[in-house]
Structure 1
């Protein structure tokens, strides 16, 4: 209270001192009573944020402007950002080169299936590690986190041999079955997220549920899992993005009969007959196919961007509640 009263007294003195003095008023408006209060500090902050926004948005702006450029605009060095005309044939070529309907369905089945499985399995595992004391719980938690630190390239050859013997290659089973057993992509991170979330829940909830006769399974499905809806959304979106954009794993385990969008983007030029005969290389870039490639990249990134735009508010709220910002 004394500090607030002292601040008000100083503010009143400053106002009375600057009354009738235009120069002091301008200084107060530009610089402010504190350095961060004036318009100058706000303009500097806005300028720095604009630079950061441009650095993050520049790749997306390049994709959007390039996919509407014709070959003549791509070759012309005077055309930088704005094309002379909107050239829409790039989308048609990208649609055909990606084989978009087939590869979209393949990618969607793997992404949605694995994401939903990971939400449930990782939540179940995280709840067990957080709420059930048993011998070796710390060691199991350490081993789970260790799987997150091991690069996937180290175990790809043993996994390929196992999947080949089981006959799972070129099928979504190579991703669905590991996700079902808590070994999906980044599952260790998701287990840790749920573990931290359930660990932060008060023990009085469990005590009240046990007094009402609820079993451990019922307590998880009826109480804990609904409370973890924010963490479930965070895990689902992260899993969706990682499975949608995976390239290395899909190229190893889905080489022929079950291509995804990421694989088709690399093979798009080969899928279009006659495109390889039109190469005109300028500084390592093929301007004949650059617009088509950018259109294909846009078709691939548009679904996850749209999903994030829809779920952005709940995603940010879930990040705050899931323990990732602690």
Structure 2
């Protein structure tokens, strides 16, 4: 009887504490009013996001640690993440193997020039498709979407023949001229982004500008283009990154005289080892040059990383305002 009485007292105290004010506060703290408000849900979300972040960051961490390893660390299976000593000669090898000054200059010229051209041309085209009614506007929009859906591998041979006849091969004109005519890399996507942005602008702005005597061109440059700063930033960053990382188009149209960083990275193994035939046959990664290759990869991606670090806030804000997330 005493044991039963003691058990009932303890059970009563527990129920009183659980259903009391302190128990309810603890419940709200752990579980929350909704399922995603409490610490339990936050811990689960944090755990899942940590796993996802590790999966995305693991290649980057491997690249950063490998580029500081010397030959002994590379061939030692016990050294995986942390090298025994920092080895900086890999950067010099990567600098020489990539021919970094030339390749970097070529890549910057193509990326910046084409990105600025695409921002202006795609904004102008998207403004026309969004604000003007003309016969065949739906057909033009369909053709713009069609150019985005067609893979570049299908039309690479006709483009190669055309560029060869005009003498544009091994020059940046193979990317600059199509960008001027709205046919640059992913131009259709950028046109649709600007079209969506300009369609969301109120018609009262256009009516007020027309009452003030603004022409269609003046309305675009004085009113619409300044309002589209967020969309311009998003398009510029996307275009710059795509031109910076492009390999297939550059390898087809810039094979010899105008190498970019992507092409130089593909040739790095041959430049370092000097035995392209042996490597093509064995298809094995040479551990001696792996540190130099990781250093070369880091030297290529460091510029986009720095740009995104400085423009991250405006980039996210621009994505939200440009209609991409709708």
Tell me the TM-score normalized by structure 1.
0.90
Map of 2:68 onto structure 1: 68
- Cα displacement (A) at 1:41: 1.8
Change beyond 3 A, Cα 1:158–1:278: closer
Question: Which stretch of the first structure deviates more once superposed, 27-36 or 171-180?
Answer: 27-36
Larger Rg, first or second structure (1 or 2) = 2
| Distance (whole Å) between structure 2 residues aligned to residue 130 and residue 37 of structure 1 | 42
| Distance (whole Å) between structure 2 residues aligned to residue 241 and residue 286 of structure 1 | 29
Map of 1:10 onto structure 2: none
| Distance (whole Å) between structure 2 residues aligned to residue 303 and residue 92 of structure 1 | 18
Map of 2:82 onto structure 1: 82
SS in 2 for 1:126: helix
Map of 2:20 onto structure 1: 18
| Distance (whole Å) between structure 1 residues aligned to residue 297 and residue 209 of structure 2 | 50
Q: Deviations over 1:251-289 (max 9, x none)?
A: 00000000000000011122236577998x999432111
Tell me the TM-score normalized by structure 2.
0.90
Q: Deviations over 1:89-143 (max 9, x none)?
A: 1100000000001100000000000000000000000000001100000010000
Q: Deviations over 1:202-257 (max 9, x none)?
A: 11101101101110000000000000000000000000000000000000000000
Q: What is the RMSD computed on CA atoms of the aligned residues? A: 2.3
8 Å Cα contact 2:233/2:318 also seen in 1: yes
Give 1:141-180 correspondences, 5 Å limit.
141-180=141-180
Map of 2:253 onto structure 1: 253
| Distance (whole Å) between structure 1 residues aligned to residue 49 and residue 186 of structure 2 | 31
Change beyond 3 A, Cα 1:45–1:250: same
| Structure 2 residues without counterparts, runs of 5 or longer | 1-15
- Cα displacement (A) at 1:200: 0.7
8 Å Cα contact 2:35/2:41 also seen in 1: yes
SS in 2 for 1:287: coil
Change beyond 3 A, Cα 1:51–1:271: same
| Structure 1 residues without counterparts, runs of 5 or longer | 1-13
Change beyond 3 A, Cα 1:273–1:77: closer
Moved over 6 A (4+): 275-279
Change beyond 3 A, Cα 1:202–1:15: farther
Aligned residue pairs, count:
310
- Cα displacement (A) at 1:73: 0.7
| Distance (whole Å) between structure 2 residues aligned to residue 33 and residue 132 of structure 1 | 50
